[in-house]
Amino acid sequence: MDTNQPSMNPTFSVNAPSSHYLVYAENGLLNELGNILKTQGVNGTVYIISDANVWSSHGEQLVTSLNRNKLESRVFTVDAGEATKSLSTANQLYEWLASERCERKSTLLALGGGMIGDLTGFVAATFLRGIPFIQIPTSLSAMVDASIGGKTAVNLSSGKNLVGAFYQPALVLADLNTLRTLPPRELASGWAEAIKHGLILDSELFYMFEENHNELINLEPNLTRSVVQRSMEIKGKIVEQDEKETTGLRMLLNYGHTIGHALESVTHYSSFLHGEAVSVGMVAAGRISVSMGMLSNKDLDKYTAVLTNYGLPTSCPGVDPDAVLDAIQMDKKVKDKKVNWILLTGIGQSVVSSAVDTRVVQDTIKDLCS
């Protein structure tokens, strides 16, 4: 490997019970993609799935790297947006892969944000009963959250991520340079997921967000690399210990997502980016935590201010609160008709609880929607 290029050493590895894989998170990795794939034993045709927007920004660079390393590729682009993450789109991809004579030893490559990673992973898990896939996240949200851990899914009209599988990627490669192509709103959406990691498990990471918001919003290179890598490693360590949410540890990663997913669903994925909905959900969960006597108002105010500083919403005026309450019942964490809420007991400290008064939830959501 050319020593004049950025370091191509893996940032860390994920040693989940079902799979071991490497995670790369550095600047300039797209240029080295073909080289890295070759070192990881990838041969033959690579089947790339991306959305039209991401492909126009990064597709040529990616294919050039593959060609330079004598890797053939085929490309299927889909419309951008959460509405594309459907069984209908998955079926189109199955038919395309079948027509291309894709084999079990072939490799799928997900180039894009969380939607593309979820969709590609679901197709990889189910086509030919499972073929390898590689995550190349180009959004901040996908880097720090969706690309690691093997949760793959598509949406139904009745809820988000209701059809899916746990299926780990063979490799994760995050080129931090792609973050500079994101609109400010998309970048803010990604910071929500990273801030979440600080809130649930790592107070030091949270305070890095609190103290350095101007630098991080402007993607100061060294600080951005440090924070993104740290956030990704938190996700990886949780996956190693609780790959399929059997102990409750991985469930902590859903902080803010119970109400966040409900918001996305009732607004038909058209009003909130994922991280924006999660931001509102984290404020809601924080208020519930305060009402339960678990979290101080001081800590809630502190992290609400941090979310605001990153350009994230902290309420959802105009949304029908009854529709949100109904959608919550479709949450995957519902057990015996009770929602398992992820709540905070302090900055960097979280618990799972089903002992939440329904009236507290109703009042919280109605207040946020007013």
CATH, domain range 12-181: 3.40.50.1970
Q: Residue 8: its pLDDT value, please?
A: 74
**Among 235, 287, 332, 333, which one carries the catalytic annotation?**
235
Q: For residue 86, what is the DSSP state?
A: B
Residue 215 and residue 226 in contact, taking contact as beta carbons nearer than 8 Å: no
**Among 160, 197, 230, 250, which one carries the catalytic annotation?**
250
In the chain, which residues fall in CATH 1.20.1090.10?
197-369
- 3-class secondary-structure state, position 339: strand
Instruction: Sort 349 into a burial class: Cβ within 10 Å, 0-12 / 13-18 / 19+.
Output: middle
**Among 129, 298, 337, 359, which one carries the catalytic annotation?**
129
- 3-class secondary-structure state, position 210: helix
For residues 263 and 283, give the distance between their C-alpha atoms in angstroms, rounded to a whole number.
Answer: 13
Residue 148 and residue 13 in contact, taking contact as beta carbons nearer than 8 Å: no
pTM of the model: 0.92
Taking every pair of Cα atoms in the chain, the longest distance, rounded to a whole number of angstroms, is 61
Instruction: Reply yes or no on whether 129 is catalytic.
Output: yes
Residue 161 and residue 118 in contact, taking contact as beta carbons nearer than 8 Å: yes
For residues 141 and 276, give the distance between their C-alpha atoms in angstroms, rounded to a whole number.
Answer: 11
Q: Residue 5: its pLDDT value, please?
A: 56
For residues 143 and 23, give the distance between their C-alpha atoms in angstroms, rounded to a whole number.
Answer: 10
- In this prediction, the residues of the chain whose per-residue pLDDT falls under 50 are 1-4
Question: Residue holding tokens 């419309």?
Answer: 79
Residue 239 and residue 149 in contact, taking contact as beta carbons nearer than 8 Å: yes
At the topology level of CATH, where does 197-369 sit? Dehydroquinate synthase-like, alpha domain (1.20.1090)
Instruction: Reply yes or no on whether 235 is catalytic.
Output: yes
**Among 85, 151, 197, 213, which one carries the catalytic annotation?**
151
In the chain, which residues fall in CATH 3.40.50.1970?
12-181
Instruction: Sort 162 into a burial class: Cβ within 10 Å, 0-12 / 13-18 / 19+.
Output: middle
Half-sphere exposure of 277 (CA within 13 A, CB side): 24
**Among 257, 287, 332, 333, which one carries the catalytic annotation?**
257
**Among 35, 161, 177, 254, which one carries the catalytic annotation?**
254
Instruction: Reply yes or no on whether 151 is catalytic.
Output: yes
* Strand partners of residue 133: 108
For residues 9 and 211, give the distance between their C-alpha atoms in angstroms, rounded to a whole number.
Answer: 30
**Among 32, 243, 245, 264, which one carries the catalytic annotation?**
245
Instruction: Reply yes or no on whether 213 is catalytic.
Output: no
Instruction: Reply yes or no on whether 244 is catalytic.
Output: no
Chain CA centroid to CA 288, Å = 24
Instruction: Reply yes or no on whether 193 is catalytic.
Output: yes
* CA distances for 254 relative to 12, 132, 331, angstroms: 23, 26, 11
* Strand partners of residue 351: 343
Find, among 30, 20, 21, the residue nearest to 68 by Cα: 30
Instruction: Reply yes or no on whether 218 is catalytic.
Output: no
Chain CA centroid to CA 306, Å = 20
Helices (H), 42-183: 52-68, 87-99, 114-126, 140-141
Instruction: Reply yes or no on whether 254 is catalytic.
Output: yes
Question: Residue holding tokens 């990881």?
Answer: 40
**Among 261, 287, 332, 333, which one carries the catalytic annotation?**
261
**Among 85, 196, 230, 274, which one carries the catalytic annotation?**
274
